[in-house]
Amino acid sequence: MQRDHRFYLDRLTIEAVRNLQTGTFELHPGLNGFVGENGAGKTSVLEAVHLLGAGRSFRTHNSQDYIRHNENCALISARLVSDAQIQQLGMQRCRQKILLKHNGEQIERLSDFIRLLPVLTLHPGSDALVSGSPDHRRRFIDRGVFHAIPAFGRWFGRYQRLLKQRNAALKQRHDERLWESGLIEAAEHIESMRREFVDKLQEIVEKQAQIMDKTPEVELHYQPGYRQEMHFADALGRSRQRDRDLGSTQVGPHRANLVIRYNGHDADSTASRGQIKTLVSLLTLGTLVLWRETYDRIAVVLFDDLPSELDREHFDYLVDWLKNSGHQALITAVEPSALTSDMDRLFSVKQGFVRELL
């Protein structure tokens, strides 16, 4: 299942995704722009790519929402290309099941499938990374670590299974301690890899902040889901009676959080809307830098309505950086003038039809 880290998305076929007409188009390994009126379908193109790379939509938690009305299944397939190899990915998402294929072979585990195409998405809802619940920030960290450190997925999956078993034992008034040795071991690996990633991300974000905004001080603090000075085993023991009373595990990596501070204050409660967008773009950019420079991973980057999300200075900086980053980008905008001069390939999206302009 290992793949060349420098694959890019070469050809994309989309069927029965929202209002998009069935079609195939070829992408540039650099910057690809999609322009069209609101509702034309350009965000749905990004959604289809995100489905291939993340296994879920960034617009809805319900798979039936993105399957075209009166259709039973949506299909997205892609050709990935490197200097020496071609790979095929395919996802058929029906209302009751999902079928995943890699080079014609069925893939049973979603985690094995999404490892093949690292995707990072910045869209209007991404503000929740700063202003939303800890779940958003925890998922952001885990996505970053998942594509950076191969062992993370295995330990994360093991932790989730053991956590489910311990919680079941708590609900049934059985001895929950039977599951704790493995749970503690998995938690220690998860915490170590998360901290490594956050520490490196902090260094990169500090540098990028100085370049992008000149003034902000951005601090990232990882909170493990229990008191910092304690070991997880001790935290479990101290929380045991509370866990039994509530019937679920109240401490651990599944309760972790990333605290983001902006100019000395907690960003989730004090940052303005503009500052939040700056922080989200910094964290996105920082992850891309980290993936490439430290872990030698390239990604498909999806930016929905980027010109309206960022001011012109930050937009220009981000686009200039992307040009030389090695990452592939798909960027949407309403006005062609916002993207034309920067794009390696430009597409028009109108009434669900995708057409190449240049």
- pLDDT bin (cut points 50, 70, 90) of residue 101 is very high
Cβ neighbours of residue 335 closer than 8 Å, sequence gap 6 or more: 35, 307
The rounded distance, in Å, linking the Cα atoms of 202 and 50 is: 26
What integer is the mean pLDDT of 266-281?
Answer: 89
Cβ neighbours of residue 295 closer than 8 Å, sequence gap 6 or more: 147, 148, 149
Q: Of 261, 198, 242, whose CA–CA distance to 224 is shortest?
A: 198
Q: What is the dihedral of CA 144, 148, 153, 155, to 10 degrees?
A: -100
Given a cut of 70, whether residue 5 has pLDDT beyond it is: no
Q: Which two tokens stand for residue 321?
A: 């950086």
Strands 300-303 and 119-122, how do they pair? parallel
- pLDDT bin (cut points 50, 70, 90) of residue 237 is very high
The rounded distance, in Å, linking the Cα atoms of 301 and 330 is: 6
Record the pTM.
0.91
Q: What is the CATH number of domain 1-118+300-358?
A: 3.40.50.300
The rounded distance, in Å, linking the Cα atoms of 107 and 229 is: 41
Q: What is the pLDDT of residues 136-174, one digit of tens each?
A: 999 999 999 999 999 999 999 999 999 999 999 999 999
Q: H/E element holding 251?
A: none
Q: H/E element holding 245?
A: helix 240-246
